[in-house]
Amino acid sequence: MSNPKKIVVCGAGGFIGGHLVADLRRQGHTHLRAVDIKPLGEWFQKFDNVENRVLDLQQKEACESALEGCGLVYNLAADMGGMGFIEANKALCMLTVLINTHLLLAARKQGAERFFYSSSACVYAADKQVDPDVTALREEDAYPAMPEDGYGWEKLFSERMCRHFTEDFGLTTRVARFHNVYGPEGTYDGGREKAPAAICRKVIEAKLSGKHEIEIWGDGHQTRSFQYIDDCILGMQKIMHSGNVTMPINLGSSEMVTINQLVDIAQEIAGVKLKRRHNLKAPKGVNGRNSDNTLIQKLLGWEPSISLKNGLEKTYRWIYDDITPKA
């Protein structure tokens, strides 16, 4: 009997990839391969009963090795981070195009059944995100193209690659545009962290130090929606296995808040009141961004179930426990 085909998670040492592997294990999947460029000791989550491989997926040969015997492929691998990292590392973000290109070639060669690509809301046209009171972004708002420089262009190009591999080679691809995923077991410092984790860390540090101040990037009026990791993992798999989601689709929450309101929630969780210093020279991204979930509700009947307050509290507690010495 031939070996069953593998479910391969690329970027498995990262935040979303680690949670996906954990969920697939909970479902009872045993033929799992987890791949990441980071040394195993630096993975956020690692499991002994999973085939773990350390590979540089920008290299064609590494992608062929990673997808050997694959059935389903989840590509979550990327050189990326929060807005500070994205704005300062445009070339590095663009080089991620090598990962998806080589993985698509390897998936086609291996006869993969399905290929999932994690795109981003950063593909959306900048001129539709200039007002904090933004109209929620629909899938068609990615064109005419004016995405986030560097990172957004790479994501939009890789979406097109998936489309053309389906059209020209018959490889079944699925693409989700992630909107600000957050939760425990992820980066909260070092420069690659995103807003929810960064704000939780800053509030915790202010509380522990007794210096009740917090720096906020921008004026705090910029708006976003934030999706808890558990909702993302469920939505991602629904998209992967769907029969009718053949175009890039939003995967996010439609619960929009300002960054100042995000700080309000974190302060309430911590039980502190902080003086705010707004750094207007720091990277802040677009003025407004929110997810229009009309299409995913129509096609999959899906909507995130975890509120920002509940999800942020779980995230705060995990970061707090990770920062403070264990009793």
Catalogue the active-site residues.
Answer: 151
Are 10 and 76 in contact, with CB atoms under 8 Å apart?
A: yes
Distance CA 113, CA 70 (A): 8
Q: Tokens for 220, please give them.
A: 């705090």
Q: Would you give the end-to-end CA distance of the chain in angstroms?
A: 51
3-state helix, strand, coil in the chain (%, to 5): 45, 20, 40
Element (H, E) at 251: strand 249-251
AA identity, residue 318: W
As a whole number of Å, the CA-based R_g of the chain is 19
- Torsion (CA) 309, 313, 319, 323 in degrees, nearest 10: 130
Report phi then psi at 253, rounded to 5.
-95, 150
**How deeply is 254 buried, as exposed, middle or buried, from its count of CB atoms within 10 A (0-12, 13-18, 19+)?**
middle
AA identity, residue 324: T
For the chain, helix (H) and strand (E) counts, in that order, are 11, 13
Give CA separation, 274 vs 196, 219, 259, 320, in Å.
16, 16, 14, 17
Among 31, 54, 51, which residue's Cα sits nearest to residue 42? 54
Q: Is the dihedral of CA 60, 66, 70, 73 positive or negative?
A: negative
Three-state DSSP class for 174? Answer: strand
Any idea which residue has 């900048």 for tokens? 126
